[in-house]
Amino acid sequence: MSAKPNSKFKSWKGKDKATEDSSGFDDLNPTITYRHLSAHNLGVRDPLRVIALCDSDAFYAACEMIRLGIPDKPLVVLQWQSLIAVNYPARTFGITRMMNIDKAKELCPELVVVHVATYADGEQEPAYRDNPDTRTHKISLDIYRRESVKMLQLYKQGLPENAEVEKASIDEAFMDLTRPVRQILLDRYPHLARVPDDAPMGLDTPIPPPPQVSWNELGTLVPINPAQESDADSDDIPSTWHDVALSIGAELMEKVRQEIKAKMGYTTSAGIARNKFLAKLCASYRKPMGQSILRNAAIPNYMKPMAFQKIRFLGGKLGNALAAEYDVSTVGDLLSITLDEMQNKFGEESIWVYEVLRGIDYSEVKEKQTLNKSMLAAKNLPEPVTKLSEGYQWIRTLAAELALRLNDARETTPNLWPKTLVLSARDVRAHESRRSKQAPWPFVREVNVDVVAAAAEKLWKDLIDPHASLKIINISLGFTGIEGIESGLKSIDTFFKAPTPKRPLEDDTTNDDTAAKPSSKNISKDLSSFVCSRCGQRSSLPQSAIQTIAERQSALALMQMEHEDFHLALDLSKVPDPARPLREAGRVAVTKPAKKKRRKESPPRGIAKFFGKS
């Protein structure tokens, strides 16, 4: 299919409804008007949308190659007996993931085999061992998590500020390049930024034809006509403005990928297309070190031969139902099903199936909160724990992992505080098979294995009946309610002045502060408790491990604020307009960002039955 200029002028406004035409690839070359270019945010329906998915090549294996300084040797990463990552040199020997390790060594005797790091009882840090024992060790993926965080930061730094970056998995990120691309496009073609005086339809006038894109050095083009001579189509077919946008996106991606390679050593592969679904699909078109570009005109022939059950969400019951209903296997086979027919059979919402088969996807690239609200360390036990004392070894191991992860996270967000420590255990024999206990986490700045293990051991004692017969097969230990209190601390500073020689800290307790804020005058001299001026209740800090004045100050301030929030919530429950007291109080909970509406991520209701557990 060629990208002929669209003769039909379509209004830029309004929803592009999925077409009733059964083949339906009718949105591949939309007319671009001055209005499109001047609009600030057309969001997911921007006709010049450019999305990229960047994926690290053989990620865990690459982390190990870099750690060990052996860039070219065949290497695999092992987790117990399973191969979980195979580098590209090893793949040339025919080694694949999930292959038996003995078979892999047979295929490549010089294979470097790295077992993922493990925690052992009593150790604060994971270590690399050749033969860890599942009965006494626990897997650590911390090194990969750390590298993943660094890489995500580099993506953000390496792309223009108005690009959106969303972590998709440990080694993948989506990038919405639409806005930076638009800016570059207008800089390069400034005549597009202004509607000509003689434009017949003013802002709605289509912009002049685009230049021919030279794709050299920008990546591999998914061919428009795969049956033809491979490169013929790139020069022969007139470029569209969307192609120009994709080519600018490809320049940005080339640059950021080179930076990742130069600064961290990792090679990556990218897919660039008009939406997330297609960017992800074509990212694996050329791997490793590939950058694949899917022009709109190439979408139909790329999609048609694809086994539709390979598409995410179409692999399960819904895919089976579609295959059974129409006795077909490829996307092309399903294109003859009209929208009406599909909706009659599978409900109104099956429009998204109809659209995805035609390469349409309106999902957003949204930066997720980088801060994980919770952290969990879990272990499936090789031998069930049958009595209380047998649990301590695992609790220490889990505590070490949790402490390390919190400290890692504190490297990027220094003032992270978990609210709660949760311990849970799964007992195969008990009626209610998973039970848990939790406790508020004390305000300790230095979190190490001893502190976490001590708190977890208490929970363990509470959780486990020493006289009951046990068969615990899984234990998990986690922090929940993790929040960064940087912003909170700033406001804390305003009423907890740093102690100065002239005005010792104790003086603060008599310092009269404003009534609207938590006031320091109710704080005890030894910084161990405060009394609420509204309800008279005294709240005390746990005596545990809070060492310095600064720690006590921030801990007390947080406690006060939480107490204030409790009153605020109580007030809110008593008044008809929930916004009023909040406005009057002039503040919201310090550490909690305003709740955003969550996008529904689950598939639509009418076809929900196809998504249940099989």
Among 37, 53, 75, 85, binds ligand DCP (CB under 6 A): 85
Ranges within 158-177 binding ligand DCP (CB under 6 A): 170-171
Ranges within 465-504 binding ligand DCP (CB under 6 A): none
Q: Which CB atom, from 268 or from 560, has the smaller least distance to ligand DCP?
A: 268
Contact flag: residue 55 with ligand DCP (CB under 6 A)? yes
Q: Max CA-CA distance within the chain?
A: 90
CB of 40 to Ca ion, least distance (A): 35
* Cα 393–chain centre separation: 32
Contact flag: residue 27 with ligand DCP (CB under 6 A)? no
CB of 213 to ligand DCP, least distance (A): 28
Residue 508 contact, options Ca ion, ligand DCP, none, Cβ 5-8 Å cut-off depending on partner type: none
**Residue 69, Cβ neighbours under 10 Å: how many?**
7
Where do runs of H (alpha helix) occur along 391-484? 392-412, 449-463
C-alpha neighbours within 13 Å on the C-beta side of residue 376: 11
Q: Which CB atom, from 59 or from 241, has the smaller least distance to Ca ion?
A: 59
Q: Which CB atom, from 77 or from 299, has the smaller least distance to ligand DCP?
A: 77
Q: Which CB atom, from 153 or from 169, has the smaller least distance to Ca ion?
A: 169
CB of 61 to ligand DCP, least distance (A): 6
Which two three-digit tokens encode residue 104?
Answer: 């892999």
- DSSP letter at 173 equals E
Which two three-digit tokens encode residue 413?
Answer: 């967000």
* Cα 153–chain centre separation: 13
Q: Which CB atom, from 57 or from 121, has the smaller least distance to ligand DCP?
A: 57
Residues that bind Ca ion (CB under 5 A): 55-56, 59, 171
Contact flag: residue 60 with ligand DCP (CB under 6 A)? yes
CA separation for the pair 31, 241 (Å, rounded):
9
Contact flag: residue 396 with ligand DCP (CB under 6 A)? no
- Residue 414: is the preceding peptide bond cis (ω within 30°)? no
CB of 285 to ligand DCP, least distance (A): 12
Q: Which CB atom, from 55 or from 427, has the smaller least distance to Ca ion?
A: 55
Contact flag: residue 147 with ligand DCP (CB under 6 A)? no
Residue 166 contact, options ligand DCP, Ca ion, none, Cβ 5-8 Å cut-off depending on partner type: none
Q: Which CB atom, from 59 or from 394, has the smaller least distance to Ca ion?
A: 59
CA separation for the pair 169, 312 (Å, rounded):
15
Contact flag: residue 154 with ligand DCP (CB under 6 A)? no
**Residue 147, Cβ neighbours under 10 Å: how many?**
22
DSSP E strands in 304-444: the ranges are: 375-385, 416-417, 420-427, 434-440
Sign of the CA dihedral with 542 first, then 543, 545, and 549 last? positive
Among 18, 84, 101, 582, binds ligand DCP (CB under 6 A): 84
Contact flag: residue 59 with ligand DCP (CB under 6 A)? yes
Element (H, E) at 284: none
Residue 60 contact, options ligand DCP, Ca ion, none, Cβ 5-8 Å cut-off depending on partner type: ligand DCP
CB of 163 to Ca ion, least distance (A): 21
CA separation for the pair 215, 462 (Å, rounded):
65
- DSSP letter at 543 equals -
CA separation for the pair 286, 292 (Å, rounded):
6
| Burial degree of 326 (CB within 10 A; 0-12, 13-18, 19+) | middle
CB of 85 to ligand DCP, least distance (A): 4
CB of 292 to Ca ion, least distance (A): 14
Contact flag: residue 142 with ligand DCP (CB under 6 A)? no
Q: Closest by alpha carbon to 529, among 507, 512, 511, 546? A: 546
Ranges within 272-301 binding ligand DCP (CB under 6 A): 287-288
Q: Which CB atom, from 56 or from 554, has the smaller least distance to Ca ion?
A: 56
Place of tokens 């591949």: 28
The site for ligand DCP (CB under 6 A) is made up of 55-60, 84-85, 170-171, 287-288
